[in-house]
Amino acid sequence: MTTDAPPPERGTQTSTVQPTTESFVQVQQSTEFGELRRTYRSFAFPLTIAFIAWYLLYVLLSNYAGGFMGTKLFGNINVALVFGLAQFLTTFLIAWFYSRHAAAKLDPKAEAIKSRMEADA
């Protein structure tokens, strides 16, 4: 199916106006963006370090504390299985916790910055 409308002229924009590079640099240097970055980092870095430490503890215990990890808790369930399943549980909990944190603290700040940039463009 063809249309009779002429193609857009070269050099014309068919979408909204984008902020300039200078606008992005100004926003990056603003205190508001610095606060957004600090809010993200103060959440993400400690949680990442804690999870990596928890994971490495599991790996080290699996390698060097076989007797402890092989301790049966009930039936055929041992400490290693419980710790291994806890790794999955903590992964999902961290993802859920981060999504709540982002929705409450990060998204409103990012949306304000984005709206201001689009309004200035």
Domain-embedded: residue 17 = no
CA–CA distance from 8 to each of 1, 11, 13, 15, 42 (Å)?
18, 9, 8, 12, 47
Sign of CA dihedral 83, 86, 87, 88: positive
Q: What is the pLDDT of residue 48?
A: 96
Q: What is the pLDDT of residue 119?
A: 83
Phi and psi at residue 82, in whole multiples of 5°?
-65, -45
Whole-prediction pTM value? Answer: 0.72
Residue 88 domain boundaries: 22-120
Q: pLDDT tens digit string along 67-102?
A: 999 999 999 999 999 999 999 999 999 999 999 999
Domain-embedded: residue 54 = yes
Domain-embedded: residue 45 = yes
Domain-embedded: residue 6 = no
Which residues, 6 or more positions from 47, have their beta carbon under 8 angstroms from its beta carbon? 94, 97, 98
Q: What is the pLDDT of residue 103?
A: 96
Which residues of the chain carry a pLDDT beneath 50? Answer: none
Domain-embedded: residue 82 = yes
Domain-embedded: residue 14 = no
Q: What is the pLDDT of residue 76?
A: 93
Number of domains making up the chain: 1
Q: What is the pLDDT of residue 14?
A: 53
Q: What is the DSSP letter of 15?
A: S
Q: What is the pLDDT of residue 20?
A: 82
Q: What is the pLDDT of residue 109?
A: 93
